[in-house]
Structure 1
Amino acid sequence: MSENDPSVLDGAIAPSKNTHLFGHQAAEDFLAAGHASGKGHHAILIEGPEGIGKATLAFRFANHVMSNPEPSLAPRYLAKPDPDSAVSRQIASGASHNLLHLTKPVDEKTGRTKTAITVDEVRKAGHFFSQTSGTGNWRIVIIDAADDLNRNAANAILKILEEPPRRSLFLVLSHAPGRLLPTIRSRCQPLKLSPLSDNDLSQALAALGSPLTGGKTEETVRALAKGSVSRALKLLNYGGTEIIGAFDEVIASEGPTARKAMHRLADVLSGKDSEVIFGFFLEHLGDHLVALARQSALAGDLAAADRQAKLVFDLGEKITTAQAYNLDRKQTLMSVLEAARQA
C-alpha cells in the first residue's frame, strides 16, 4: 500500500487526487443538475460495490460545488478537475477548510488503519461546522464509507443529518447500504452506481498505469474483478488470483492434502503486511458461501441454503472477534477454512 496513505492500494491514486472517472456519466449529470437547480438534497447516499469510483465521484462533485458555489451560475455537468486550480490543490492536500473527509483513522501506535470510524472522528464534523459557520461557503463532508461507522458514530452522524447546517452537503458512501441505520438511509437521497463495464474497467486501469494487455490474464482479471478497480488491483498487484486458486484447492482437496493446503493458505494470509490480501480473501469467502447458499436454494435444499447463509454471518463474527481480541490469525483462519470446507 502507499507509504503516504495506507488506505490507498499499490497502483491506485487517492480519490482526492484522481482526475479520472469512468462509467458514471449519468450519476455525474444527476449531481450537476441537482446543484444547478438550487434544490439539491443536503445528503446524497452514493451506493455501489467497493472500488467502482464512489469516492472519486464524491470528490469530483465536491470540487464542482466548491468551484461553483452559486447554483444559478453552475454548469449542468461535472468538468474534469483541474489539478492546478486552487480548489483542486487544497482538496488533494487535505488542506481545504470547506471539505472534511471522514474515514477510518490510522492507529498511531501500529500504523494500521483502524477497523471502524469512531464517534471521535464524527465529532470532527461538529467542530468543522462551528469553525466554518460564518464564511458563507459550502461545507462538504464525505463519509467514506458509512458502512464503517460504529454504532455511536452512526448515531452522531444521524443527529447532524436531522438538522443540517445551512449550505452543508453530505456525500455518504456505502458499499452495502442495507447495513446502515434505516434512519440514516431515510435522510439521504440514494444514488446507485453500477459495477464498471469491461471497457470502463480497462480504461480505468490504463489510466492508473496498469493496462490489461490481453490473453488469459486479462480474461481472468475481467471475470474475477466484477467491475471493481480495487478488486482488479488486488488481483494484479497483491496475488489475489493465487489466493483464489489456493482457496479452490482447499475446498477441492481431501484428507492430509487438504490440511496442507489450509496451512499454506493460512500462512500467507497471516503473514507480515497481509492486511489487503486478508481482506480480499474474506470478501471472496463471503461470495463463495453466498453462491453456495443460492445454489442450494435453487436446488430446493432450503435447510442447506439456510445453514450456508448463516455461516456467512457466523464466520464474519468469528473474524471480528479474533481481530478485536488480537487472537492468533492463523489458528482463526484454520478454523474458518475448515468450516468453509464443511459448508
Structure 2
Amino acid sequence: MVSGGGFDPEVFNPRRNNFLEGHATAEKLLLDSWNSGRMHHAWLIGGPPGIGKATLAFRMARFVLTRGLPGEQEMGLFGPPPDPTSLTVDPEGPVSHRVASGGHADLLTIQRTWDEKRRRFKRDLAVEEVRKIAPFLRLTSAEGGWRVVIVDGADQLNSSGQNAILKILEEPPSKTLILLVADNVGALLPTIRSRTRKLALEPLTEAQVRSLLFRYLPDLDDAERTALARLAEGSIGRAIELHTAGGLDLYKAMLGVFDSLPRLDVLGAYAFADATLRGGNEEANWIAVTELIGWWLGRIARAAARGTIPAEVVPGEAALVHRLMQGSHRAGALDRWVEVWENTNHMFAKAESANLDRRQTLMSALARIEAAAG
C-alpha cells in the first residue's frame, strides 16, 4: 500500500505547533482563570484522540512560561498591562524555540516512550516516567517563574502511576501548573478527577478537519480532503495518520473486496490480505486496516439501526451500503451487524495481545462479514 508523502510530522508536533482550531471555549476558560489571578494548579484536558488536546496543553505551557500572574508583571508607563486575550505567543521567541526543542528547564513532559521494534508509541505510560515529576518540582524554577508539567496520555497510567500523580496533586508547590491529557477521562482515579479542573474538548467538525488538512497537507485535492475528514470523524490527528499510512488507499481496496458481498470474492480477499500484510509497512497497515474495518462495521450497524445511508467517503460506497441495507429489515439483521462488529473488534484485539497470525485473523474477519451480509 502507498504511504502518504510530502508531510513533515514535526509541523504537527504539539511542541512546535502554535496553531489550534475549534477549541476557543476551552482556551477562554484557561485565559479567564489566568486573568483572575487564581489559576488552578492542575487541569485535566479530555476528549477523543487527535483533536488538539496536547496542542492546547503546549499552547498553555508556552503562554505560562512567558508570563507571571496578573499583578506580578512590571507596571508600564500607563499602569499594568492589559489582560491577554489569547494563548498565542511569538512562535519565533526564545520560549517557543526552547519548548520545541525540549530544552526548556521549567517544562517537563511525560509521555509514552517509542517502541523501536513496532515503530509506534507503547500503549502504556511507564510509572518510571511519572516518578520524574516530584524531583522536578522540588527544584527552584530555572527562570524564576512557573514550572509546568504535561502528562500526555495520563489515562494510560497503571494504578501505581496514577497514585504517584495523586500525591503530587495533593500538595503542589507554588507557581506550578500540571496539565493532564487523556483520551479516556473515566480511566483515571476519581480522586485525580476531583483534584483537577476539567476541560472537555469536543471532536472537530468536518469543515474544521478539512480546513486543517488544507493547512498541513495543501497538496491534497478536495475529494481526498473530504474523504479523510469523513474517515477521521472529527480528529485531525487521525486524518493525518490515515494519510501518512496510505489509509485512503487501504479503505478503497477494502471496499473493493466488500463490493462482491453478499458473496465474498475469496481470491480478491486473499489478494487484499497479502497486499496489506507484506513489505516494510506491515505494522502500520495492520493497525490501519483493523481500525478501518472496525470503523466501517460500526457505520453499517448504525446505518441499519437508523435506516439511513451515511454520506459517502469515496464514490460508489453508498450503493454498497444500500445493497447491504436491503436485507436489514429481515428479522435479526441489525443484531447480526452489531454482533459481527463487536466480535471482529475483539478478534483483532486478541490477535494483537496473543500475537496471532495476522493474515488468518484478517481472513476470519472477512468471513464473519460475509456471514452477516448473507
TM-score bracket, normalised by the shorter chain, equals 0.7 to 0.9
Deviates more, 1:83-92 or 1:71-80: 71-80
Please show how residues 138-177 of structure 1 align to structure 2 within 5 Å: 138-177=146-185
Asked whether the 8 Å contact 1:28–1:77 carries over to 2, the reply is: no
2:230 maps to what in 1? 223
TM-aligned CA distance change 1:130 to 1:24, over 3 Å: same
Structure 2 CA distance for partners of 1:206 and 1:75, relative to 1, 3 Å: farther
Residues 50, 235 of structure 2: 8 Å contact kept: yes
Q: Which runs of 5+ in 2 are unaligned?
A: 1-6, 74-81, 307-328
What amino acid sits opposite 1:330 in the alignment?
R
**Residues 200, 256 of structure 1: alpha-carbon distance in 2 compared, 3 angstrom cutoff:** closer
- How do 1:36-115 and structure 2 match up within 5 A? 36-72=35-71, 73=73, 75-107=83-115, 112-115=120-123
Cα deviation, residue 18, structure 1: 0.8
- Distance across 2 between alignment mates of 1:118 and 1:201: 32
Counterpart position of 1:242: 249
Match of 1:330 in 2: 359
In 2, the alpha carbon distance for the partners of 1:97 and 1:38 equals 24
Gaps of 5+ in 1: 1-7
Verify the 8 A CA contact 1:43 1:189 in the aligned structure 2.
Answer: yes
CA contact (8 A) 2:210 2:226 kept: no
Identity %: 38
Q: Specify the alignment match of 1:318 in structure 2.
A: 350
Change (3 A) 1:118 1:203: same
Q: CA offset at residue 57 of structure 1?
A: 1.0
The aligned amino acid for 1:101 is: T
8 Å contact from structure 1 (residues 65, 138) kept in 2: yes
Does the aligned pair in 2 maintain the 1:49–1:195 contact within 8 Å?
yes
Q: In 1, Cα distance between the equivalents of 2:250 and 2:286?
A: 9
In 2, are the aligned partners of 1:289 and 1:311 still within 8 Å (CA)? no
| Deviation per residue, 1:232-281 (Å, 9 max, x gap) | 22343322112223333445546672464155236524642344443333
- In structure 2, give the amino acid aligned to 1:208: Y
Count, aligned residues = 332
Post-superposition CA distance 1:176-217 (Å, at most 9, x none): 323333333333222122222344323322332435533x33
Give the structure-1-normalised TM-score. Answer: 0.80
TM-score of the two chains, using structure 2 as the length reference: 0.74
Q: 1:245 to 1:16 in 2, by over 3 A?
A: same
Q: Do the aligned residues in 1 keep the contact of 2:45 with 2:179 (CA within 8 Å)?
A: yes
Change (3 A) 1:305 1:183: farther
The alignment partner of 1:143 has SS state of strand
Quote the residue 2:240 is aligned against.
233
CA pair 315-180 structure 1, distance change in 2 beyond 3 A:
farther
- Provide the secondary structure at the position in 2 that maps to 1:38: coil
